[in-house]
Structure 1
Amino acid sequence: MAEAVSVELELHNEPLPMSAPFRIAGHVFEAMPATVVTLRDGAHVGRGEAAGVYYNDDHPDKMIATLEALRARIEAGIDRDTLRTLLPAGGARNALDCALWELESQRKGVPVWKLAGLEKVDRLLTTFTVGADDPSVMADRAAGYPQARALKLKLTGDPELDGARVRAVRARCPQAWIGVDANQGYNAATLPSLLPVLIEAGVSLLEQPCVRGREHILDGIERPLPFAADESILDLAELEARHHRFDVINIKLDKCGGLTEGLLMARRARELGKKVMVGNMCGTSLAAAPAFVLGQFCDIVDLDGPIFLVKDRTPSVRYEDGYITCGDEVWGPKTLA
């Protein structure tokens, strides 16, 4: 762990409008506001971006207030281990944790991925997400990702309509890997009728079928394909408590509170025999970059967030042939102040 050094803390929020409304079960997003943390020690800069966790009322204004309340403690010097005990999991801790990673990277002149224990980084096959809409519209959008090798479809909890959505996309994209995300939209009565349709369409993953806190409804339901936890498992403690009801753990840095916790979760999930997935909350490349490091340890990658924004940062992550690549110039030792 890096030595704690005194820093100057800068905080601001950014609106991050989306290029088009994005629908999931129970929500329509037109923007994904984010908090940006910048740490300066004079010669070096560390940055982190977080959107928070919308279903936990974890939003940028609250994140700013949380971090401002700790300004003196942060500026006096803090390390990542201390941060995990100082703040709960969520967006505020994520933004500060990622800023600490980049600050250490710049001070040591070493890429973040090396600090995370990697010998190299590889491009990652990523899913491209299709928001919930009419089946024909979703099929058009899916086909509109000519480079996509993997797709994630948002569902809304209506088995008949969701089934039509899945069939329509599969008909247009016969070769693509497909996962679906119910965003807590199903219950014990409706989920069994959806599962045969998913199997028929060759769907490879069902993400978050049930409401957070009601995971027990899954106990009597056969799992003919892997079930992934998103909202149900936020951090390391919840992984220990709820992993037995899921096959895949979707780790998002906004949920767990940063790359430090995310790496611990990935390691523990492996020990528990689970597959690991990385996702993000639709932020810019500054949010995708640390998630890309975590993605090196994952089986499934869902890091398409920047493509939904009106404007991304420069330099940015790159999408080519269905893969995401993130160079050190985006976040790490070569970043300019």
Structure 2
Amino acid sequence: MIALDIQTVELPLARPFAISRSVRTAITVVRVTLTDGQWVAMGECTPTAHYQESAESVCQQLEQVRAQVEAGLSRQALQQALPIGSARNALDCAMWRLDAAKQGKTVWQLLEMPAPERVVTAETLSLDSLENMVKAAEVAVAGGAKLLKIKLDRLQIIEKVAAIRQAAPLATLVVDANEAWLGLDLDSLFQALSEFNIAMIEQPLPAGNDKDLVHCLHPIPICADESCHQRSDIAGLRDRYEMINIKLDKCGGLTEALAMAEAAKTLGLRLMVGCMLGSSLAMEAALPVAVQAECVDLDGPIWLAQDFQPGLRYHQGEVWL
């Protein structure tokens, strides 16, 4: 028998986190704990209102499968028992950890993958005034950041990118519009942004309303985030995106994330691995996919007032196991 415990935890942020559609000062995560009486394993998810999720709805989903989980539901069967999303992610990751513990292995060993010592991760520049974003960039690069992810809306796009590039001349820059650029002259905007050596632009148009990208000239690779949730989405994105962003909370856990990575590579799409705001418990689960990606954005814990312990170590733009 497996025992399932479900806990809702509020995590205050060390500073406000803003994107084009919201500002947050705290996040609510749901943590699950599985135990077989000998081994204990945990998983964490961050319910996302943009995807019609809340802590309450996630807990309800988990309660609906409690009896199956406690009767020994397998990780493979979980993929059909719950839909993609945060609830399945928390359980899936806990199951991976419990399966590994039972075999006296790490998840890395279960996957027959070498565990890296460290991985370069983006540091996110939250949407703010131009002056504050430049200051944040200066602080980040002074601390050793190598990759900066710039959150933008529709205002001062070129001005902000130009100022941040000047403040961080050696850093790799990626831009995240969070679906905010509908109605803008994208051809001109992408051309202007190309002057600042931008490595990638993430989700410029709303999911389901991104067909303009098919005929839009973009010298900078474009990455699908909100448009890509699971492996069945990938084939239909090849005519408008060069990359996909895999997030465990979107796709429903490590099992689907690994399958998405393989599908994307088979179809010639490049990989990014991202996250919702969350603790090291959530970020660590995504690392087996992150080591396969050319762009990694797993900086969620650096925004927290207090991380899960034992946590990952973030130092000079890298996350250390």
TM-score computed with the length of structure 1 as normaliser: 0.92
Counterpart position of 1:331:
none
Aligned partner letter, 2:102: R
Which of 279, 286, 291 pairs up with 1:291?
286
Question: Which residue identity is paired with 2:100?
Answer: S
Question: Following the alignment from structure 1 to structure 2, what is the Cα–Cα distance between the partners of residues 220 and 141?
Answer: 35
Partners of 1:47 and 1:114 lie apart in 2 by 18
Q: Write the distance in 2 (CA, Å) between the matches of 1:252 and 1:38.
A: 21
Q: CA deviation at 1:188?
A: 4.6
Q: Distance in 2 between the 1:25 and 1:19 partners? A: 20
Equivalent residue, structure 1, for 2:61: 66
Q: Which residue identity does 1:153 align to in structure 2?
A: I
- Which residue in 2 is equivalent to 1:31? 26
Task: Give the match for residue 172 of structure 2.
Answer: 177
Unmatched runs of 5 consecutive residues or more in structure 1: 1-5, 327-337
Partner of 2:145: 148
User: Match for 2:236 among 214, 233, 241?
Assistant: 241
Aligned to 1:117: 112
Determine if contact 1:52/1:255 at 8 Å carries over to the other structure.
no
Aligned AA (1:173): A
2:162 is aligned with 1:167: yes
Q: Matches of 1:280 and 1:44 in 2, distance apart?
A: 27
Amino acid at match of 1:192: D
Distance 2:300 2:54 in 1: 17
Is 1:188–1:217's contact at 8 Å kept on the other side of the alignment? Answer: no
| Distance in 1, Cα, partners of 2:240 & 2:75 | 30
CA distance in 1, matches of 2:189, 2:13: 30
Match of 1:168, as an amino acid?
A
Offset, 1:151: 0.2
What amino acid sits opposite 2:98 in the alignment? L
User: What do you get for the CA RMSD once the two structures are aligned?
Assistant: 1.2
| Matched-pair contact (CA < 8 Å) for 1:250–1:276 | yes
Partner of 1:306: 301
Matches within 5 A, 1:274-285: 274-285=269-280
Q: Does 1:76 align with 2:86?
A: no
* Residue 216, structure 1, aligned to residue 211, structure 2: yes
Q: Size of the alignment, in residue pairs?
A: 319
Structure 1 window deviating more from structure 2 (176-185 vs 19-28): it is 19-28
Q: Which runs of 5+ in 2 are unaligned?
A: none
1:157 aligns with 2:154: yes
The match for 2:227 among 228, 232, 243 is 232
User: Quick check: 2:244–2:269 contact (8 Å CA) kept in 1?
Assistant: yes
Provide the C-alpha distance between the structure 1 equivalents of 2:269 and 2:15, rounded to a whole number of angstroms: 35
In structure 1, what residue type is equivalent to 2:39?
H
Contact 1:105–1:111 at 8 Å: present in 2 too? yes
Q: Read off the aligned partner of 2:61 and give its amino acid letter.
A: T
Is the Cα–Cα contact under 8 Å of residues 125 and 301 in structure 1 kept in the other structure? yes
Matched, 1:266 2:261: yes
Q: Measure the CA separation in 2 of the matches of 1:217 and 1:105.
A: 45
Superposition deviation, residue 122 in structure 1? 4.1
**2:246 & 2:159 partners in 1: Cα distance?**
29
Q: CA deviation at 1:119?
A: 3.0
What residue is the counterpart of 2:251 in the other structure? Answer: 256
Kept after mapping to 1: 8 A contact 2:177/2:203: yes
1:204 paired to 2:195: no
Cα pair 1:9 1:39 within 8 Å, conserved: yes
- CA displacement at 1:75 relative to structure 2: 0.6
